[in-house]
Amino acid sequence: MRRVTFVIYPGYSAMALAAVAVFETANAVQGKAEYDFRFMSEKGGAVSTSSGLPLKCEPLSQERGDTLIVGGASFEKPLSPGLIAFIRSAPRKYRRIASICTGAFVLGEAGLLDGRRVTTHWLHARDLQARFPKAQVDEDRIFINDGQVWTSAGMSAGIDLALALIENDLGADAAKSVARKLVLYHRRGGGQSQFSNLLELAPKTDRIQAALAYARENLHKPLGVPDLADAAHLSPRQFSRAFRAETGQSPAKAIENLRIEVARDLMEQSRHPIEAIARQTGFTDGDHMRRAFLRAFGQPPQVLRRQARNELAD
């Protein structure tokens, strides 16, 4: 059985505890206790989380465990020297150390980010880099695995991180079964951007939103302006003008970005051949998709797939 220990401190975000449900579901899916849990704070007892909900904890212990997870908080008060010393010693007692959202700052204070590639919520990424210049902070990743240390973006990304840890332990099929039981669309890959193209476009009217929803569900089709305009119940001229006014992009550029986003996700999450993914996401062929990836990421699809698999295997 793998012991997962959560380090709790005042103001700890209750949302970070969503990762517990992911491991708990893995136990149910596997039909046996693959994981057990401990919640520890410096002195033990009830600790108030960010929502005011008290969480009963054990005192920090020198016992060994499998995975140590530190979630984020508001950091209105400095962390205690005792807690930082405990985190600093964690690599000697735990196989993996992970942070969720601004929990990366706790790992940084303990010196665990030095020389590593890491991430956190994009709002705090530049502050993390400034405070811990020996770390290499990537502000546009869902999660990153660098050796013994795993870091994730905002609180919901802790769910993706937990699924990735389960995949690392039990395999891809187990992680997919857990995601399915949690009614998740899929596990987002670590290399996926924290920014969704649909969210970034931020259309203001229902008609343009309907067109984008139609596009997202029909990426395998050509999706010219007449198709999108029909979904929005506008003339092609009206649609093009309204689309650019609301999103700041041309329809063609927005659709290519959506194709790239979904194709990258499929490259990381599946073993489908590049040509099959290209057809599924509406690129004319694998070479067309390759050129789009080079424009967007500066790397071809095969390299991004290899990086995602290497990160998960570390």
Q: What is the 3-state secondary structure (H, E, C) of 128-179?
A: HHHHCCCCEECCCCCEEEECCEEEECCCCHHHHHHHHHHHHHHCHHHHHHHH
Cα first-last separation, the chain: 20
Q: Do domains 2-181 and 197-313 have the same CATH topology?
A: no
- Supply the residues annotated as catalytic: 101
With DSSP H G I counted as helix, E B as strand and the rest as coil, what are the percentages for the chain, rounded to 5?
50, 15, 35
The pLDDT of residue 307: 78
pLDDT tens profile 170-193: 998 899 899 889 977 555 555 455
Q: Which CATH superfamily is domain 2-181 in?
A: Class I glutamine amidotransferase (GATase) domain (3.40.50.880)
List the chain residues with pLDDT less than 50: 191, 195
Cα angle, residue 67 at apex, residues 65 and 68 outer, rounded to 5°: 95
pLDDT tens profile 87-101: 999 999 999 999 999
Task: List the one residue out of 247, 255, 253, 250 whose CA is nearest residue 219.
Answer: 255
> Structural domain boundaries of the chain?
2-181, 197-313
The pLDDT of residue 123: 86
The pLDDT of residue 157: 86
pLDDT tens profile 246-276: 888 899 999 998 999 889 888 877 788 999 9
CATH level 2 (architecture), domain 197-313: Orthogonal Bundle (1.10)
The pLDDT of residue 94: 97
The pLDDT of residue 111: 97
Give pTM, 2 decimals.
0.67
Q: Can you spell out the DSSP letters for 224-242? A: -HHHHHHHHTS-HHHHHHH
